[in-house]
Amino acid sequence: MTKPEITALLDLGDDYLQRYQDGTPIKKVLKDRTQINLFFEDSTRTRTSFELAGKRLGADVINMIVSSSSIKKGETLIDTAMTLNAMRPSALVVRHSASGAAALLAQKVTCSVLNAGDGSHEHPTQALLDALTIRRRKGQIEGQIVAICGDILHSRVARSNIHLLNTMGARVRVIAPPTLMPPFAENLGVSVHHDMREGIADADVVMMLRLQTERMQGAFVPSTSEYFHYYGLDAKKLAHAKDDALIMHPGPMNRGVEIDTVVADDIDRSAIQDQVETGVAIRMACLDALCNGPLP
């Protein structure tokens, strides 16, 4: 996406956020439209966020958790999508464990497709909501030093954030143990760090990523406690960042693994609850833009 496109979506999302915070009525721009949340991987928070976003815009929202039904019967991803497409929804919101799945679906169906996360590839609405959160709290994205810390290797959130923040002119750093850093990460336009103190030095934003527990039992890092010792965000490490550094996390958090409870719940610095609220607004903006014509 280009900078003007991103800015337009952020503006639209900001407007929706302001409206429901103020209690201003929201135009039901998706009235009589159908939105299907097609989740091949369950994710309660993302699905709920998309469901709320659609409903606030007046859409009829249907949730399908496919992992347990037709795929097991041998129906392919494409068949499932084509079947749903034949029911003429306006939008398919797709979450899948394989990179490129949403793009593949978009080639085969006629309705709009919204990527709600594909494998280790992208999670675009997460990056947009993170960007809006930063913009609201910091005034602007350009020039901010954003340190992304955690399982960069498997993270679609990291990839989407890197692309978006770079496009918007932020300075992005990634921090992870070498086993959780993808090869040639520096070619993505970020600076690569294995020492957390060095990575978050003078950062304006510290974005923590979730680490799957099964990846910490010796496969990628030796143990939970060693990981927390070197890469968990606590007050001591946070002291290296700017005093007003914003703390972010896409959720769900592993408290005591990648982030200390005291830091996560610091109401002055943690934007984690803001991210959830902003998420609904930004997804409203995306659905609106996708279903109601091109961005300006």
Partner 1 sequence: MNAQARAAYINARIIDPVAGTEVLGSILTVGDKIWAVGPDAFDKADSDGTLIVDCQGKCLCPGFVDMHVFLGESMDTTAQSAAAGGVTTIVIQPDMNPVLDQVSLVDYIERQARDAIVRVHPMAAATKGMDGREMTEIGLLQAAGALAFTDSRKSVHKAQVMRRLLTYATVHNALIVQHAEEPDLADGGVMNEGETSTRLGLPGVPAEAEVMMIERDLHLVAMTGAKYHVSIVTTAQSIDAVRRAKAKGLAVTCGTAPPYFALNELAIEDYRTFARLSPPLRTEADRLAVIDGLADGTIDVIVSSHDPHSEDEKRLPFSFAAPGVVGLETILPMIMEVANGGHVPLPRLINALTAAPAELLGLPVGRLDKGAPADLLIFDPNIAYRIHAEDFVSGAKNSPFDTRPAEGRVLKTIVAGQSVYAADGW
Which residues in this chain contact partner 1 in the complex, by CB under 8 A?
76-78, 96, 98-101, 103-104, 118-122, 156, 159, 182-185, 187-188
With beta carbons less than 8 A apart as the criterion, state whether 35 and 90 touch.
yes
CB 278 to partner 1: min, Å: 24
Our CB check for partner 1 shows the closer of 106 and 201 to be 106
- The owner of tokens 């993302």 is 46
Task: Tell me if the bond preceding 178 is cis, omega within 30° of 0.
Answer: no
By beta-carbon proximity to partner 1, the closer residue of 214 and 268 is 214
Cβ neighbors of 177 (< 8 A, separation 6 or more) are: 194, 220, 221, 227, 230, 231
Q: What is the 3-state secondary structure (H, E, C) of 273-293?
A: HHHHHHHHHHHHHHHHHHHCC
CB of 131 to partner 1, least distance (A): 20
Residues 202, 180: Cα–Cα separation, whole Å: 23
Q: Please state the closest distance from residue 213 (CB atom) to partner 1, in A.
A: 19
C-beta of 25 vs 184, nearer to partner 1 = 184
CB of 67 to partner 1, least distance (A): 14
Please, which residue, 132 or 211, has the CB nearer to partner 1?
Answer: 211
CB of 8 or CB of 104, closer to partner 1: 104
What residues contact 161, with CB distance under 8 A and at least 6 apart?
A: 126, 127, 130, 146, 148, 172, 207
Residue 187 CB, nearest distance to partner 1 (Å)? 5
